[in-house]
Amino acid sequence: MKAAVLHEFKKPLALEHVPEPKPGPGEVLIKVEACGVCHSDLHVADGDWPQFARITKIPLILGHEIAGRVAALGDAVHGLSIGDRVGVPWIYWTCGECESCREGNENLCSKQQITGVTVDGGYAEFVKAPASHTEKIPSELSSIEAAPIFCAGVTVYRALSQSKISAGQRLAVFGAGGLGQFAIQIGVSIGAQVTAVDISEEKLATASVLGAFRTLNASATNVVKEFRSTGGAHVAIVTSAAKAAYDTAFGCLRSHGTLLVVGLPSENICFPPIMMAAGEVHIQASAVGTRKDLREVLAMAAAGTLRCHVATGPLAQVNEVLEELRQGKIAGRVVLTPQ
């Protein structure tokens, strides 16, 4: 089968033919119809997250926003049939036995396997996955529409759910790209007053179409001053991978405000402890989502509440897409198709 393979960090992926995977007991083989390109893929390919570089399988097929059809069943698979449309998320497998799993936080499983990091992902014609950790795609969604939900959508959904933001509260969304677009729509659906912050007028225009109450261009506006003038944000979610976005977002919070850590810069972030204490600021990180979270956000998308601005391209263009992502030129989400 055709696949885009990482052989060395910071080098282009190699487009080559590799053996088609064979599903073992409890696994399914999926014919990939769409695979989203996530900023995390870029970090994995560049090896600039040291914690992940140590566990990355080399050679590796990247891609963890996978949508396709079941092509073959391994032994002891129940609840799925050949031809079913399913998706594979970032969390490839969890043990179900560790403390986090028992507490309902399988996204923090100490033994988890990660799609497109520790096991091969979806930048290929086929991928195999545990049947227990795939999710059926609602008929209302195409595979191209569904793919970004398996990481971008579920990640911001869990983060905002955990923040307990409510109707009428002020939500600041820093970064109006793929994740940010989902965050804006989820915030609007809750009834929050959403402000989108970015340096791209194109992304901010999309944010307005998606229902943002206000947009701010961080390169032309004193964003902190603007938020302070209206009382500050109850919740600020940073979906950008820029450290500067965190520095600004922290200053925009009201007392008892919550900063949601979703976008992951390669460098560390730091805030003044005295200001954290003075405002009793909450800093809350969120790691993708559980299967329950994924089912809930897929249902929202199927109901028409969520949509992502998606551009498509063939798998053969993967290196060009990654370079555009590296340069910040992608306004929403790019989804690769095998053909």
pLDDT reading at 312 higher than 90: yes
Per-domain boundaries in the chain: 2-151+289-337, 154-285
Q: Mean pLDDT in the chain? A: 95
Please tell me the CATH code under which domain 154-285 is placed. Answer: 3.40.50.720
Vertex 310, ends 194 and 60: CA angle to 5°? Answer: 110
Q: Is the pLDDT of residue 66 over 90?
A: yes
Q: What is the mean pLDDT of residues 8-25?
A: 97
Share above pLDDT 70 across residues of the chain, in percent, rounded to a whole number:
100
Q: Please, what CATH class does the domain formed by 2-151+289-337 belong to?
A: alpha beta
pLDDT value at position 115? Answer: 98
Q: What is the average pLDDT across 196-204? A: 95
Whether the full predicted model's pTM is greater than 0.85, yes or no, is yes
Q: What is the full DSSP assignment across 53-79?
A: HTT--SSEE---EEEEEEEEE-TT--S
Q: Is 2 helix (H, G, I), strand (E, B) or coil?
A: strand
Distance CA 175, CA 241 (A): 8
Span 118-136, average pLDDT = 98
